[in-house]
Structure 1
Amino acid sequence: MSHANQPNVVFIIADDHRAESVNAFGNKDIHTPTLDALAKEGTSFSNTHIFGGLTGAVCAPSRACVNSGISIFRSMIGNDVTNWDHAITIRSDVVLMPQAMKNAGYVTHAIGKWHNDKPSFARSFTGGDKLFFGGMSDHWSVPVQDFDPDGVYPVEREYIGDKFSTELFSDAAIQFVENYTTDQPFYLYIAYTAPHDPRTAPEPFASMYDPSNISLPPNFSTDFPFDNGEMDVRDEHLAEKPRHPAEIRRHIADYYGMITHMDAQIARVVEALKAKGIYDNTIIVYTADHGISLGQHGLMGKQNVFEHSVRIPLIVKGPGIPTGVQLQDLTSNIDIFPTLAELCGLAAPEVDGTSMIPLLKDKPEHKKAVVGTVYADIQRMIRDDRWKLIRYYVSESSGRGSNRLQLFDLEQDPWETTDVSSQPANTEHINRLAAALQTWMVENGDILQDVPVLLCE
């Protein structure tokens, strides 16, 4: 098999990085020169949404969706929202993105956070370093493992990394690039744990942003007005209730510091690719597993379906990618795998997502009319280019939550501050989106597909 024209791939996925918190995506308060440069050299997608997850640890199912290209209801071994194994364990017959790359002759090398089951990791990668199978840790003492050719990864093999997580993982990535001598193309998967809390970036990044200069977002609120079904999850206790502006500003400043530090580390990886002479033939993908609230809507976590929590950055740079383009088209994180497969000349995978390549070629017939997100058994959202419907449910398992709808006009109200579902003129939008959501749920095997979206009058 000839590898002469196949590009290398560096796939970077961050933890908790919302789309809004990149300078190139419109946030002028944050310093992200490396990501901005990648966006300028490639194409960025400003309306990419996560498919969602069935537990509070959205990281795990979201990564499963990215790596499988498949609905969370079909990619995992089960859909019980109370069963942790169902949140992390990918079905053994699901072919994952790195696995497909490996099967196509790529050297697949992983660094950082996996957070899904170990067998799915073992069948996907030919090598790896500084592997973290947990959800979160102290960034200064991450329990990591070396690559295990047997694929077992017992906890006894763990040791504590000797530097800050983002630097630990970046160093390992740079070492891989510098030492790479094989003719085969490589797929390098770098999964950072930043900017997830505890947000303790090294100096000078820890004090780079003065909380008193941070502007609160327009949708900042001291509290959330009703029971969304997940008001008591760990994330919601990371700040005092009701929320205080000063404390929220501090959280945002720390968050930005983590992101800017990560951006500086990604710059080192980029420099290593350039020094090796392979930068131009390398596709770089930057994305995240989900966003985070940090005071928006009075919430702190990612256990909701507002834009700040479900919209993620997606930047793709490399051969065959238009430069300096930012697309507003609706996309989902399950679309990343088929897109990358097409860019690398792999056979089209059997997935629920659709390749974004036609969007790069400006083929309007391939645009999605709607995109949806699920959260546990309590929240669903569907949106089109302008309107967004959120459906809240009472959980069968916990009894928490509310039966209600919210409707937002994202054109007039991008921060989702005003629910306009009670305005008679908007009934048509509610009905149209409710029907679209019902169809979307059925198509994706949603566990709530038999529950009516529209509430009884």
Structure 2
Amino acid sequence: MSKPNTLVICSDQHHPLMTGYRGHPSVKTPNLDQLADDGTYFSRAYCNSPVCTPSRMSFITGKYVSQIDNWFIGCPLDPNEMTWARRLDRADIPSTMLGKMDFCGDYQDGGFTEHKILERRPAFDPYPRNTPMDSRLKGYIRPDKRKHIENAGIRSDVKTDGTNGHDDRYGFYDHDCIVTDWAVDYIKNKGNEQKSDPWAIYVGLLYPHWPFTVPKKYFDMYYNDPSLIQYPHDANFPNDDLHPALKRFQSSLNLGEITEYQLKKVIASYYGMITALDEMIGTIIQELKEQGLYDNTYIVYMSDHGESLGEHGLFYKQCSYEGSVGVPLIVKGPALPKGQQVDNPVTLVDLYPTIMDMAGLETEPDRPGTSLIPLIQNKTDKHTEYAFSEYHGNFFQQDWYMLVKGEYKYTYYMKERPSLFNIKDDPKEMNDLARDPVYNSVLKEFEVLLRSIVNPEEVSYRSKKDLGLIGPDGEDYTETLTTKELEDKIKKGMFPDEPGFPVWQ
């Protein structure tokens, strides 16, 4: 048999528990369920930063966000950073990127042999920023987040070119249909070539990312049967039981009161997007089977981060609750065990050494991840014991760092108290143990571990400096400046009028 091929499918914003194979009682995902039956799924998989660009730049380089200084959407990746796509290309294994990957600005190929994308991600210009990024200042409110809730439901029945997916009328259905067709054509061509040379393809789909709009048949599938709607836990708007940093996050989202009717529409739309996504993945896998390539192809399915979907009174990602920072992850391949669940904590930086392992290549020693293949094959018990994630982006004035180890999840909030959850006994993260003196020793152990991985103060300073949040005299604008004051200073010419969010030129 020829050397195996590699197919990586990455969705966007898929809650880790919302699939059939994870036991969700309502969401229909027959194709992902079959893939999990044919491979191994990970029950404790996490992204390394729960927002699009940093997460993707982390797993494409196999490095933590703080190793590559990719703090937020709009922060470009250094083109000199090695990616697994470039490693494959240099090893004469052609690598192809189809769809969303999120390289920012002029650097879009990421080392892939060839690439096709619909929506390009802009970079901040200039960068590092001269003007403070407003979304990390006191008083920041983002009004469109409420609108996504209000506009959830059936998408307009038109066919677009796939480049306007953030429009609440359309969402990303057309984008994903186009990218799916690209992937099917690629696989069909590989089958027709009848060559034994291995290849690798990355397919970047955008469902179930907001807007919460989906074709009618998928919406009706769930909305018309109330028994299928599973309402989120602790869905209080506002939620007084949240950590202070999360209270500010909820306030910045400007969600206001959300009715059961609105929640039902959002949930039905989100479930529908997952089922539509599953059908597209099924189409890609079916083409592999028809071309006789399925058995000799490694397949990875994962998402770049999760979606809170109302849990704890929150939507979207950005926080360290399970629904946001957790991700679905399935690995299937030739000679790998089938129908297996792995409970070790893993993160997406493990994908780089895993893909190197699949290709028979060595991983550079500066990568913090570990190949998942020995773990899948039950040939090691020495896989990294912890999962690490960090966040330096919008809605949070201060950075946070998360560790999962054993039965605990620890989040270190800069300049505030930490949080601690026993996610084995308290999987919905309702009881923060950090305020109980009994757990002081556990908190200390986690902080020691954190500081062995990263210097949180130094990383926080670097991230703020790049995002324009540290003044020339060392002033930390996240503590001293409000969004209203920034607006006034821009009008007076004290700061340049740089967009708060990157704009494509």
- C-alpha distance in 1 between matches for 2:30 and 2:455: 42
Partner of 2:400: 379
For this pair of structures, how many residues does the alignment match?
412
- C-alpha distance in 2 between matches for 1:267 and 1:291: 21
Superposition pairs for residues 234-313 of structure 1, below 5 Å?
Answer: 236-237=253-254, 240-313=255-328
Q: What residue identity is the alignment partner of 1:236?
A: L
Identity of aligned residues (%): 27
Matched residue SS, 1:52: coil
Superposition pairs for residues 324-335 of structure 1, below 5 Å?
Answer: 324-335=339-350
- C-alpha distance in 2 between matches for 1:176 and 1:313: 25
Contact 1:370 1:384 (8 Å CA) reproduced: yes
Kindly state the Cα deviation for residue 348 of structure 1 after the two structures are TM-superposed: 2.0
Kindly state the Cα deviation for residue 363 of structure 1 after the two structures are TM-superposed: 4.4
Relative contact order (alpha carbons < 8 A, sep ≥ 6): 1 or 2 greater? 2
Q: What residue identity is the alignment partner of 1:63?
A: R
Q: Which has the higher strand share?
A: 1
Q: Which of residues 183, 190, 195 is equivalent to 2:203?
A: 190
Q: What's the C-alpha RMSD, in Å, of the aligned pairs?
A: 3.0
Q: Does 1:342 align with 2:357?
A: yes
Contact 1:130 1:144 (8 Å CA) reproduced: no
**Larger mean Cα displacement after TM superposition, 93-102 or 112-121:** 112-121
Partner of 1:109: 96
- Deviation string, structure 1 residues 63-87 (Cα, Å, up to 9, x no partner): 10111101112224x65x6xx643x
Kindly state the Cα deviation for residue 121 of structure 1 after the two structures are TM-superposed: 3.6
Contact 1:341 1:349 (8 Å CA) reproduced: no
**Larger mean Cα displacement after TM superposition, 275-284 or 44-53:** 44-53
Kindly state the Cα deviation for residue 231 of structure 1 after the two structures are TM-superposed: 4.0
Contact 1:18 1:290 (8 Å CA) reproduced: yes
Matched residue SS, 2:17: coil
Superposition pairs for residues 37-436 of structure 1, below 5 Å?
Answer: 37-52=34-49, 58-76=51-69, 85-86=74-75, 89-117=76-104, 120-134=107-121, 141-142=160-161, 164-180=174-190, 181=193, 182-210=195-223, 212-213=226-227, 214-225=229-240, 226-228=243-245, 231=248, 236-237=253-254, 240-350=255-365, 351-363=367-379, 365-376=381-392, 377-394=398-415, 403-436=416-449
Matched residue SS, 1:352: coil
Q: What residue identity is the alignment partner of 1:384?
A: K
Q: What residue identity is the alignment partner of 1:13?
A: C
Matched residue SS, 1:382: strand
- C-alpha distance in 2 between matches for 1:120 and 1:358: 34
Q: TM-score, normalised by structure 2?
A: 0.75
- C-alpha distance in 2 between matches for 1:447 and 1:97: 27
Contact 2:79 2:110 (8 Å CA) reproduced: no
Kindly state the Cα deviation for residue 384 of structure 1 after the two structures are TM-superposed: 1.1
Q: What residue identity is the alignment partner of 2:436?
A: Q
**Larger mean Cα displacement after TM superposition, 219-228 or 23-32:** 219-228
**Cα distance change, pair 411–277 in 1 and its aligned pair in 2 (3 A):** same
Q: What residue identity is the alignment partner of 2:181?
A: D
Task: Give ranges in structure 2 of 5+ residues lacking alignment.
Answer: 123-147, 149-154, 165-169, 393-397, 463-505
Q: What residue identity is the alignment partner of 2:179?
A: F
Task: Give ranges in structure 1 of 5+ residues lacking alignment.
Answer: 146-159, 395-402, 450-457
Kindly state the Cα deviation for residue 26 of structure 1 after the two structures are TM-superposed: 2.2
Partner of 2:486: none
Q: What residue identity is the alignment partner of 2:209?
A: H
- C-alpha distance in 2 between matches for 1:244 and 1:295: 11
Contact 2:89 2:113 (8 Å CA) reproduced: yes
**Larger mean Cα displacement after TM superposition, 317-326 or 305-314:** 317-326
Kindly state the Cα deviation for residue 144 of structure 1 after the two structures are TM-superposed: 5.4
Contact 1:110 1:131 (8 Å CA) reproduced: no
Kindly state the Cα deviation for residue 161 of structure 1 after the two structures are TM-superposed: 12
**Cα distance change, pair 448–331 in 1 and its aligned pair in 2 (3 A):** farther
Contact 1:229 1:378 (8 Å CA) reproduced: no
Q: TM-score, normalised by structure 1?
A: 0.82
Contact 1:219 1:296 (8 Å CA) reproduced: yes
Matched residue SS, 2:442: helix
**Higher Rg of the two aligned structures:** 2
Contact 1:144 1:161 (8 Å CA) reproduced: no
Kindly state the Cα deviation for residue 218 of structure 1 after the two structures are TM-superposed: 2.9
Kindly state the Cα deviation for residue 130 of structure 1 after the two structures are TM-superposed: 4.5
